Structure 1
């Protein structure tokens, strides 16, 4: 392709001295690159410099400027697919868990924004010891060491201080804590006994799940304990988040099992719409479409059914919901308007963070393992747009 086609190379836009230069009025890509040659279109200033073909490509160049911005965004954040059809719902996964109180959707061009529903999938981001003082049990009890001593918040490794559990010497001893409801678990920290017998814990298995088959010892394996030094606390990370109500420590041989403390790092696995009926706001309201209609639980994609938000045609319109406290968010599902203008959502950005600077539109868009915030925001940038939102739902949980 040579006639006005942009061909990327390795998905990168490689400018020369910040310029995108057309040759003979054509944008000539090589394996995906926008290659500057003689050109004179400077997207950083939005100015078309004089040159042999500048006039011919001026309109295309301005469109290209917007396209470049969208490609930059696509490289660092989830972008609303141009294929989101009229009245359809589509889920956009974050590259990794993102934590935040505010979530934005932002379109960097002149456009209307219409959202019939936005659902945010996530959970309460406690990252605390969810096992503390929960109900614990074990295969049997010996030497005055009940199961509850491993979740009493006391890490003392000296058995005589009444802070450690103890079973008899038996085949396959086990200990289990009931978290009362399913949690998403990231790691388990075990404190070993100091005054005696530190090697007994060697080879213990940490199992997590929702089943009580074989007393919970058949649940999926999180990690195996190779060894823990006398009196030390060691954290064992699961290969990825594991969901379960029960956490077991199990030794698959004849042995005593002694635990001086077991701490479970995780959070409740709610995965609900955390935006439902939360406080929402937007840049302005037009045509009887207040911000609250995007979080009323109604996915109807027909504007006349009073289920969609609407802004006026203005520069950088935005919509935002306040989740009241930070949540860990995994994905956002948006339902598009059906009766009109489905393409308006194309290229929208979803932003998540804790800041209200620039009405939340400056919250992070870059990739990070975790992005924290408590507001969800949907906006268009750098152009005049009307924004219509049918429904916004955030599936998540509190910190």
Structure 2
């Protein structure tokens, strides 16, 4: 283990592996385990040795580490200023879906051409409309009922949000208005991604028409999942530029 990664660079963050984060007043994160420690460096070192540790709480008064498995460190609420517990998390990965296998309910093929718009265009890292000599990098379904796009992260990760870049490459925004009423589900198995599976796989939803920019949908709670699905409710066309999954990358 490289101990340089756990050295405090200042009073607020670890260099390399951990950063101090803010958790809400009423945080109810259940630690996976606890251990006594005289300082934060010991907490960081012990967390490194645990495969499922993505962060820790350090109680300065009790000299106690509480190790955290799956949680959302990107919460905007804050602790009371006089709180003695500090929270630290591994660096967040906003590109868990980048380059991963993608399937769609259907794939649109441009009539009279060999051009198609498969799901992997949504995880290729191209975030802009094409110039004259570039392909249009969008994932595009046929017109159908409840179209969906599904990413296989290839490992189980702790996730808590997705970010969608909707289309906006028409002057009247007609293509942007296609994307509406979306539900995000996540699970370790593909069978549980169906909306009918109930709350176990439910991450979050957005009701209404998504604007032609980035939309972030935060899960109701952090989840362990290998598969993440975006599904549009109703009859229509699912077409987006990019689909990101935010979470902690599994080692």
Q: Distance in 2 between matches of 1:140 and 1:212?
A: 16
**Corresponding residue for 2:190?**
212
Listed one character per residue, the Cα deviations across residues 348-393 of structure 1 (whole Å, up to 9, x for unaligned) are: xxxxxxxxxxxxxxxxxxxxxxxxxxxxxxxxxxxxxxxxxxxxxx
Q: Distance in 1 between matches of 2:175 and 2:157?
A: 32
Q: Distance in 2 between matches of 1:243 and 1:127?
A: 15
CA contact (8 A) 1:191 1:234 kept: yes
Q: Does 1:127 align with 2:92?
A: yes
Q: Does 1:191 align with 2:154?
A: no
**Corresponding residue for 1:180?**
154
**Residue aligned with 2:121, SS:** helix
**Residue aligned with 1:259, SS:** strand
CA contact (8 A) 2:34 2:67 kept: no
Q: Distance in 2 between matches of 1:207 and 1:156?
A: 26
**Corresponding residue for 1:247?**
228
Query: In structure 2, do the counterparts of structure 1 residues 265 and 106 end up closer, same or farther at CA, with 3 Å as the change threshold?
Result: closer
Cα distance, 1:91 vs structure 2: 4.2
Higher relative contact order (CA 8 A, sep 6+): 1
CA contact (8 A) 1:191 1:259 kept: yes
Structure 1 unmatched runs, 5+: 1-89, 109-117, 270-396
**Corresponding residue for 1:150?**
122
**Residue aligned with 2:106, SS:** coil
Q: Distance in 1 between matches of 2:61 and 2:177?
A: 59
Cα distance, 1:127 vs structure 2: 1.4
**Corresponding residue for 1:101?**
44
**Residue aligned with 2:139, SS:** coil
Q: Distance in 2 between matches of 1:236 and 1:102?
A: 33
Q: Matched residue pairs, number?
A: 169
Query: In structure 2, do the counterparts of structure 1 residues 250 and 107 end up closer, same or farther at CA, with 3 Å as the change threshold?
Result: closer
After TM superposition, the structure 1 = structure 2 runs for residues 383-394 of structure 1, keeping only pairs within 5 Å, are: none
Query: In structure 2, do the counterparts of structure 1 residues 126 and 132 end up closer, same or farther at CA, with 3 Å as the change threshold?
Result: farther
Rg larger in structure: 1
**Corresponding residue for 2:28?**
none
Give the TM-score taking structure 1 as reference length: 0.37
Cα distance, 1:107 vs structure 2: 8.7
Q: Does 1:170 align with 2:144?
A: yes
Aligned mate of 2:247, from 266, 282, 285: 266
Q: Distance in 1 between matches of 2:130 and 2:206?
A: 20
CA contact (8 A) 1:135 1:148 kept: yes
Q: Does 1:139 align with 2:105?
A: yes
Listed one character per residue, the Cα deviations across residues 110-152 of structure 1 (whole Å, up to 9, x for unaligned) are: xxxxxxxx99554783411111100001011103110000000
CA contact (8 A) 1:216 1:246 kept: no
Listed one character per residue, the Cα deviations across residues 154-190 of structure 1 (whole Å, up to 9, x for unaligned) are: 1125698421111100111110000012111121000
CA contact (8 A) 2:187 2:193 kept: no
Structure 2 unmatched runs, 5+: 1-31, 47-57, 71-88, 110-115
Cα distance, 1:102 vs structure 2: 4.2
Q: Over aligned residue pairs, what C-alpha RMSD do you find?
A: 3.6
Query: In structure 2, do the counterparts of structure 1 residues 101 and 197 end up closer, same or farther at CA, with 3 Å as the change threshold?
Result: same
Q: Distance in 2 between matches of 1:138 and 1:126?
A: 30
Cα distance, 1:101 vs structure 2: 2.7
Give the TM-score taking structure 2 as reference length: 0.57
Q: Distance in 1 between matches of 2:224 and 2:182?
A: 20
**Residue aligned with 2:240, SS:** coil
